[in-house]
Every structure is written in structure tokens, then in C-alpha cells.
Amino acid sequence: MKRSSKFITVIAMFLLITSSIYVFANEIDEKKDSLKEAEQQKKVVESQLQNKQLEESEIIEKIEALEMDIIETENEITRLESQISETVEKIEVTQEDLVEAEETIGEKNDTLESRLDTMYRRGNIGYIEVLLGSGDFTELLTNMDMIRKIANQDVELIEELEEQRNLIASKKKLLEDQQAKLVTYQHDAKSQKEELQVSRGTQITLRREVQSTIGHMAEELTQMEQESQSLEAEIQRLQEEERARIEAERKRAEEAKRAEEQATKEQAAKEQAAKEQASQEQTGSTRWPVPGHTRISSPYGNRTHPVLGGTRFHSGIDIPAPSGTPVVAAASGRVIMSQYSGSYGNVVIVDHGAGISTLYAHNSRNQVSVGQQVQAGQTVALIGSTGMSTGPHLHFEVRQNGSTINPTNWLRN
């Protein structure tokens, strides 16, 4: 009877274990398929992100180049407007000089016409009569000197008239040149202003493109935060399933124990003792997750985001290390997630019991599978830069009942 009871118990446990293994194998296959699909999506997202970063860099360079062109164009417009003002002033001065010269030549011309009219009416006999009417030799010399002075004045008057005519012609030529320059300067200034208007319009368009790109990246960051919240809910669900599974196994073990003989109870007691010992190992001392690399580049809590700027909450700590550096379990436990997960990249989550779990993200490769038991210090992944990452490092989180807590304090305790 005892042997029959033992046989039935063994068969029942065998069937239970076989069923669990089958279900667990199906879960692994599903996770592997999900991981493969996620890696393909990751490549597409990383390619798109790289293209957006290149486009943003090119747009910023174009904006800076346009800004320099705008400054040069504004300086050129200022210079042309200054030349236009100077030319207008010169034209006004030249016009005044021309008016004055025309008035002067008018006066000289009136004097010359009056003099010619007198000579025409009287003729050269006036000079001879003056000389012959001299009373003596001294008066003769005086009259000759007076006649010579009058003749010299006539010559000077004619020369002054010629000089004024030349001056007027020169002023008119200068005025024409200045007016032509004014037209050229005004045309150049108009062209520069039109070019400036086009440059400013192009610059506004480019700035809008940059703002649109930044807005899109902000949306991606919001999506990453939403993924973090979804991950928190997923961890809570998985931990609840794990607790339910442990409770179900416990009930099944109790039912099996009631059907077994004292020897089976003793064996169950030994297994329980082994479980308690494993539980003590799980909740025992912790290990630093990246041996040999203790620098923290970004601590837990609020920080300035390295890509978009602004204050953002950082849900873990970042530990930089070369790609391929081993990442170890901070404590013993059971792997409840090993897959690609959006902005976290390749991620591993280990459940340590009592509601505590640790997360290892941005891995180049995960080294463990879901359901696997790991010991403190055992390699679970390799350092990488997958997901939303600026360089090779480990993003390490500690969560209690799904909510993040300060990893540094947990590691110290």
C-alpha cells in the first residue's frame, strides 16, 4: 500500500513537471520570436534616429550659414544707403555750384555784351581820338596806358567767360556721373534687400524644420517614459504570476506530502530547507553589477537629459564600461524577462523575491533566458549601447513591487 502511494505520488509529480516544462518551453519560444522581431524593429528605429540626427545637424549648419549671409547683406545695405546719402549730398552741392556758375557767367556775359555793343557803336576811332586829343606827351602816355588797361580788361573778361563755360561743362558732367552712381546704388540696394528678404524666409523655414524635429524627439522621449511605466506594470504582472506559481506549487507539494509516507514528508522537509537556504542566498549580500567599473556617470533621480536638455527623472544609475564587458547579477534570483524592449534596448530583469527585482538595460547581448535561476555575481549580459543610448554603458534599476528605488542605497544595504 505504501509502495502504491509512493508510485502514484511520483507519477503525479512527473506529470506536473512535464507539463510545466512544456509550458515553459512554449514561453521561451514565444519570447525568442518576440526578441527577434524586436531586434528587427530596433534596427529600423536606430537607422531612422541616425538619419534624423544627421538632418538636424545639416539644418543647423544651414541656419548658421544663412545668418552669416544675412549679416553680410545687412552690412552691404547699410554701406549702400550711406553711399546713396553721400551721393545725394554731392548732387545737391554740385547743383548749387552749377547755379552759382551759371549766374556768374550770366553777369560776365552781360558785361561783355555791353562792352561789345559800345565798341560796335563807337568803333576803334574812339581810341585814336583819345590819343590825338592828348595835350602833351605825358598826357599821351597816360592815355595809351589807359587804353592798354581797357584792352587787357576785355581780354580777361573773355578768358573768365571761357573759364566759366568750362566750369559749367565740368559741373554738368560731374552731376551726370553722380546721378548715374545714385541710380546704380539704389538698384544695388534694392537687389540686396530682396536677397535679404529671401534669406530670412529660408531661415524661418529651416527653423521651423528644426523645431519640428525637436518636437518629434520630445514625442519619442515621452514614448520612452510611457514604455517605462508599461514595463513597471509588466514587472508587477510577472511578479504576481511568479507568486501565484510558487503558491500553486506549494499547494500541490502540500497535497502530495499528505499522500506520502513519513519518508516522503522528510524528503519534502529537506526540499523546504533547501528552498529556505536558496531564499536566504537570494536575499543575502549584493554584488556590484559591473565588476571593475565603479564610476556612475548619471545617478538616480532628476537630471538634465543628455539629448533634449531639460530636467527629466532618471529611473536608475548609468555605469559606463567598454562594449562586451560582463554584466553580473546583483543578487541571486530567477530571470523573469530577457528580450529587446524599446528605448531600453536588450534588457534582463531578475526577480529576487520579497517584491525586489533588478533591471539591466542597453546590453549588446543577453546571456540568460526567462525562467533561469542565477546566482549573485553570475554573468547575465554584456555591456552595449542598444535602445536610446549615447554610448556603451549599463542602465541599472532596482524596483520594489514594480516601482523604482535608489539602486545605490539598495546595493549598500
- Return the CATH number at 247: 1.10.287.1490
User: What are the φ and ψ backbone dihedral angles of 316, each rounded to 5 degrees?
Assistant: -155, -155
Asked if residue 400 is part of any domain, the answer here is: yes
Using CB atoms within 10 Å of the CB of residue 332, give its burial: 0 to 12 exposed, 13 to 18 middle, 19+ buried.
buried
More confident residue, 203 or 12: 203
Q: Are strands 311-314 and 365-366 parallel, antiparallel or unpaired?
A: unpaired
Query: Is residue 372 predicted with pLDDT exceeding 70?
Result: yes
Same domain, 229 and 291: no
Per-residue pLDDT, averaged over 65-76, amounts to 81
Asked if residue 20 is part of any domain, the answer here is: no
Same domain, 337 and 374: yes
Q: What is the pLDDT of residue 275?
A: 46
Asked if residue 269 is part of any domain, the answer here is: no
Lowest mean pLDDT among 57-66, 122-131, 204-213: 122-131
pLDDT digits (tens, 9 = 90+) for 169-190: 998 889 899 889 889 988 898 8
For the chain, how many structural domains are there in total? Answer: 2
Same domain, 249 and 317: no
Euclidean distance between CA atoms 319 and 377, whole angstroms: 16
Asked if residue 33 is part of any domain, the answer here is: no
Same domain, 368 and 233: no
Same domain, 233 and 374: no
Query: Is residue 250 predicted with pLDDT exceeding 60?
Result: yes
Same domain, 359 and 219: no
Same domain, 233 and 326: no
Q: What is the pLDDT of residue 403?
A: 96
Query: Is residue 222 predicted with pLDDT exceeding 90?
Result: no
More confident residue, 276 or 122: 122
Asked if residue 293 is part of any domain, the answer here is: yes
Same domain, 214 and 297: no
Asked if residue 1 is part of any domain, the answer here is: no
Query: Is residue 111 predicted with pLDDT exceeding 50?
Result: yes
Same domain, 241 and 291: no
Q: What is the pLDDT of residue 148?
A: 85
Cell triple for 86: 553721400
CATH code: domain of residue 372:
2.70.70.10
Q: What is the pLDDT of residue 49?
A: 65
Euclidean distance between CA atoms 91 and 74, whole angstroms: 25
Per-residue pLDDT, averaged over 47-52, amounts to 70
Cell triple for 341: 524592449
Residues whose CB falls within 8 Å of the CB of residue 86, separated by 6 or more in sequence, listed in order: none
Same domain, 243 and 310: no
What is the percentage of the chain residues whose pLDDT exceeds 90? Answer: 29
Q: What is the pLDDT of residue 400?
A: 97
Query: Is residue 218 predicted with pLDDT exceeding 70?
Result: no
Highest mean pLDDT: which of 100-114, 155-169, 216-230?
Answer: 155-169
Asked if residue 43 is part of any domain, the answer here is: no
Asked if residue 41 is part of any domain, the answer here is: no
Same domain, 187 and 122: yes
DSSP tag of 392: S
Mean residue pLDDT across the chain: 81
Q: Range of 172's domain?
A: 51-260
pTM to 2 decimals? 0.41
183-200 exposure pattern, b = at least 16 Cβ within 10 A, e = fewer: eebeebbeebbeebeebe
Per-residue pLDDT, averaged over 85-112, amounts to 81
Same domain, 224 and 344: no
Q: What is the pLDDT of residue 367?
A: 98
